[in-house]
């Protein structure tokens, strides 16, 4: 199923990858919470330098856990990678420290608008820009955020807890950008937002990818929006990757059209009830 993987090398029982390989490789990982609950059941995926990769799937498929396994945020939630490995720029990082991941350029934009709500919007950006950086550089990084999100310029003194959901999402992405990410892990950035705001945010994410050369691993239930901007996509179900390929190819898959885009084989939109209660054919597992 996985295409384009480099041939693995096994040294002293540890799987590693060709040094000319992708920026990020997740190699057959399993994740267990509280030493009991198996959530990921052998996930493998790759992100190349400069790519936007979409990770699609229903609630509970394991998408957010996959991001946390990369960024180190499993630890605070008593999660652990118990099998397989994660290689970032030739270095194993599974079960690593989240602070070290940030310093390596791995930045996660978490689900749920996790702003410092008692601080102003600009104070949030200052915190993000303060990582190992002199004040003049931090100021330039903040001004760059305002260029990407002009709306934040007029909200810089506003207490961030009073911003709208869309404005908070812009602030989170901006705060992540000030840390100079090599790869940005984005968890459901469109959740609960109006379509026009989603379009605005995704346009900026695309600009960041193209201008800053930042790779993006995007977890998103809005499959249509995600596939419109991604280079490659993976579909997860029940802790496993069940389908992957170029985004344009995934978009044309009949099961994806029906189950994730809400379209029947003849291109007619199905009702929510029909899509929600489908009996999955799962041709991709055949």
> What CATH code is carried by the domain that includes residue 68?
3.40.50.300
Residue 198 lies in a domain: yes
Residue 149 lies in a domain: yes
| Helix 121-129 × helix 165-177 angle, to 10° | 20
pLDDT, residue 104, reads: 94
Residue 126 lies in a domain: yes
pTM of the entire structure? 0.84
Q: SS3 of 151, please?
A: helix
Residue 259 lies in a domain: no
User: Is the CA virtual torsion 199, 169, 242, 282 positive or negative?
Assistant: negative
Residue pointed to by tokens 């390596």: 104
Q: What is the pLDDT of residues 103-148, one digit of tens each?
A: 999 999 988 778 999 999 999 999 888 875 677 888 999 999 999 9
State the residue range of the domain holding 190. Answer: 51-77+94-252
Total domains in the chain come to 1
Residue 163 lies in a domain: yes
HSE value, Cβ hemisphere, 13 Å, CA-based, for 274 = 9
Residues with pLDDT less than 70, the chain: 1-20, 132-133, 262-286
pLDDT, residue 8, reads: 43
pLDDT, residue 130, reads: 81
- Would you mind telling me the total number of residues written for the chain in this entry? 286
Longest CA pairwise span in the chain (Å): 58
Residue 216 lies in a domain: yes
Q: Which residues pair with 186 in a beta bridge?
A: 109, 218
Q: Which is nearest to 180 in space by CA: 151, 153, 208?
A: 208
Residue 24 lies in a domain: no
Structure-derived torsion over alpha carbons of residues 232, 198, 257, 56, reported in degrees to the nearest 10 = 50
pLDDT, residue 132, reads: 57
Residue 64 lies in a domain: yes
């Amino acid at each position: 199923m996985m295409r384009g993987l480099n041939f693995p090398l096994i040294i002293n029982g540890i799987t590693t990858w060709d040094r000319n390989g992708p920026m990020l490789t997740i190699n057959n990982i399993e994740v267990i919470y509280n030493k009991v609950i198996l959530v990921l059941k052998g996930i493998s995926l790759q992100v190349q330098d400069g790519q936007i990769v979409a990770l699609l799937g229903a609630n509970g498929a394991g998408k957010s856990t996959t991001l946390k396994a990369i960024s180190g945020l499993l630890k605070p939630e008593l999660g652990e990678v118990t099998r397989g490995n994660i290689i970032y720029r030739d270095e194993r990082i599974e079960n690593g420290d989240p602070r070290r991941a940030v310093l390596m350029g791995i930045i996660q934009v978490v689900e749920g608008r996790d702003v410092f709500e008692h601080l102003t919007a600009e104070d949030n950006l200052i915190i993000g820009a303060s990582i190992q950086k002199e004040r003049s550089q931090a100021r330039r990084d903040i001004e760059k955020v305002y260029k990407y999100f002009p709306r934040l310029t007029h909200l810089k003194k506003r207490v961030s807890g009073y911003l709208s959901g869309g404005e908070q999402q812009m602030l989170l992405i901006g705060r992540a950008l000030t840390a100079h990410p090599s790869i940005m892990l984005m968890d459901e950035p469109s959740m609960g937002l109006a379509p026009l705001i989603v379009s605005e945010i995704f346009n900026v994410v695309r600009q960041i990818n193209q201008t800053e050369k930042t790779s993006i691993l995007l977890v998103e239930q809005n499959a249509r929006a995600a596939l419109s901007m991604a280079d490659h996509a993976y579909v997860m179900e029940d802790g496993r990757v069940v389908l992957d390929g170029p985004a344009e190819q995934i978009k044309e898959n009949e099961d994806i059209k029906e189950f994730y885009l809400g379209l029947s084989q003849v291109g007619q939109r199905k009702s929510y009830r029909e899509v929600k209660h489908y009996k999955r054919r799962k041709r991709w597992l055949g």
